Amino acid sequence: MKALVFLVALILTLLVACEPPDGSHQSGADSISRKSGTASHQTAMATAAQASPPSPSSPEALSNLIYLRSEPELLSLVESICDQPPSPAKNLQFTTIYDETQLRPDLTRLPLLLHLVRQPDLPMGLRETIRGELRATLQTDHGDSWADWSLALDEHLAREHGLLRAGD
């Protein structure tokens, strides 16, 4: 009997914890009709948010965003920043990306660096720093031949990490 009372109390506690924050209760039919009316809108908003990740204006916000992004999501964040028009804020964002990705693995960091160094509006000092790091890591220098840099990076990742590009 005690187990039954405990189970009922647990279920009631879970129901109260899962209650909507505004305290409103909906019947099953009302809940279904409301969900179906807003489901497509919520899906569209979620898709739009994934398609164009926010590019925060402050370095602290960008640092937090970089920290929270998984390895695959990081490239889309960097690309969204690269697509912005040139500005001093964008230059600061480039520097923040460089600084905040230093602890990421080579599999993530090196392709990001190669993507950054190809940007025409990258600040000259940062461009030289990234080129120096790529030269030291890949033990080669290809100047502005981005195809050669990409090939050298692919060879390095295959040799050091066993990663082979599947094809684009």
> pLDDT tens digits for 81-109?
999 999 999 999 999 999 999 988 888 89
- pLDDT band at 65, cuts 50/70/90? confident
DSSP string spanning the chain? -HHHHHHHHHHHHHHHHTS-TT-----HHHHHHHHHHHHHHHHHHHHHHHHS----SSHHHHHHHHHHS-HHHHHHHHHHHHTSPP-HHHHHHHHHHHHHTTTS-HHHHHHHHHHHHT-TTS-HHHHHHHHHHHHHHHT---TT-HHHHHHHHHHHHHHHH-------
Answering whether pTM is above 0.75, one says: no
* pLDDT value at 159 more than 90: no
> pLDDT tens digits for 126-149?
999 999 999 999 999 998 888 999
- pLDDT band at 52, cuts 50/70/90? very low
